[in-house]
Amino acid sequence: MVRDINFTDIFKSSFLENVAAVTIFDMVLALLLAFALGLFIHYVYKKTYAGVMYSSGFGMTLVALTMITTLVILAVTSNVVLSLGMVGALSIVRFRTAIKEPMDIAFLFWSIAAGIVLAAGMIPLAVFGSVVIGIVILLFANRKDLTHPYIVVLNVDGHDNEKKAVEFLKSKTKKCVTKSKTARKGNVEINLEIRLADDNTDMINELSEMDGVESAVLVSYNGDYMG
C-alpha cells in the first residue's frame, strides 16, 4: 500500500539539505562572473572572426554556454549522487549543428572550460586563463599575412596562350600551383592558387589584356570557401 506524502515528510527528507548546499551568494557571484567571462569570450570571437558572415547567435551562445556550464557544475559539486546522474543524462545529448569554422570549436571549449573552472571555485584561474587565451587569440588573429592565398580563374584560347599566361603569373607571384583545369575545343579554363609577394594585384589587369586571355578573375581563398 502506498503511503500518502505530507508536508512533514517533505521537511524530513534530504531535499532541503541539497537546497542549502550552495549559498545564494555563491550562486549569484558565480553566475555574474560567468556572464562577464562569457561577454569577454564573445568580444574576442567578434574581433577575430574571419568567416564569410558573422553570426550574432553563435556569439550569444558562447555567453549562455559559459553560464549554463557554471550552473551545472555548481549542482554537481554539491551532490555526489547528482553528479553520477548528470553524467548519464549528458551522455545522451547529441549536437546536430555542423561547426564550419575550426576556431568555433576552440571558442566552444573555451566557454565550457571557463564555466567549469569558475564553478569549481578557482576564480583567479578562470579569469587569468581567459585573459591570457584572449590576448593570444587576438595577437595571432590580427597578424597581417602577406602570403594570403588567392585563386585565379583563367579562360584562355588554346594551349599556347595557357602556357604564356601561367608563366606570366609565376613571374609575378611567390607561388603558383594549378588546382584544376577544364579543356574544351578552343578554350581552356584553369584554376590556380597563388601567393602574392605584396598587396599589389595589378598583374590581373595585365593578364586580362594579354592576347588569347578571355578573362582573368582573382578571388580570396582560405582553404574552405572562395569569396
What does the mean pLDDT of the chain come to?
77
Measure Cα distances from 43 to 37, 58, 84, 127, 174 in Å: 10, 12, 35, 15, 35
Residue 187 scores a pLDDT above 50 = yes
Return the minimum-mean-pLDDT range out of 7-21, 47-61, 127-141: 7-21
Percent of the chain with pLDDT over 90: 13
- Taking residues 78-93, what's their average pLDDT? 56
Map the chain to HEC letters: CCCCCCHHHHHHCCHHHHHCCCCHHHHHHHHHHHHHHHHHHHHHHHHHCCCCCCCHHHHHHHHHHHHHHHHHHHHHHHCHHHHHHHHHHHCCCCCCCCCCCHHHHHHHHHHHHHHHHHHCCCHHHHHHHHHHHHHHHHHHHCCCCCCCEEEEEEEECHHHHHHHHHHHHHHHCCEEEEEEEEEECCEEEEEEEEECCCCCCHHHHHHHCCCCEEEEEEEEECCCCEC
- Per-residue burial over 135-162, b if 16 or more Cβ lie within 10 Å, else e, is eebeeeeeeeeeeeebbbbbbbeeeebb
Residue 151 scores a pLDDT above 80 = yes
Residue 19 to residue 37: CA distance in whole angstroms: 26
Measure Cα distances from 39 to 42, 51, 111, 147 in Å: 5, 20, 10, 33
Residue whose C-alpha cell is 574576442? 44
Here the cell at position 79 is 551532490
| pLDDT tens-place string over residues 23-37 | 788 888 889 999 999
Query: What domains sit in the chain, N to C, each tagged with a CATH number?
Result: 9-141 (no CATH), 149-220 (3.30.70.260)
| pLDDT tens-place string over residues 152-177 | 888 888 788 888 888 888 888 888 88
Residue 227 scores a pLDDT above 60 = no
Higher pLDDT, 93 or 193: 193
Task: Compute the residue count for the chain.
Answer: 227
Return the minimum-mean-pLDDT range out of 47-51, 69-73, 134-138, 145-149: 145-149
Question: Full-prediction pTM beyond 0.75?
Answer: no
Here the cell at position 51 is 568567416
**pLDDT the model gives residue 10:** 45
pLDDT confidence bin for 225, thresholds 50/70/90: very low
Return the minimum-mean-pLDDT range out of 32-41, 67-76, 79-88: 79-88
Letter for the amino acid at 208? S
**pLDDT the model gives residue 17:** 54
| pLDDT tens-place string over residues 108-147 | 899 989 988 888 888 899 999 999 999 998 888 766 555 6
Residue whose C-alpha cell is 583567479? 124
Instruction: Report the 10 Å Cβ neighbour count for 220.
Output: 11
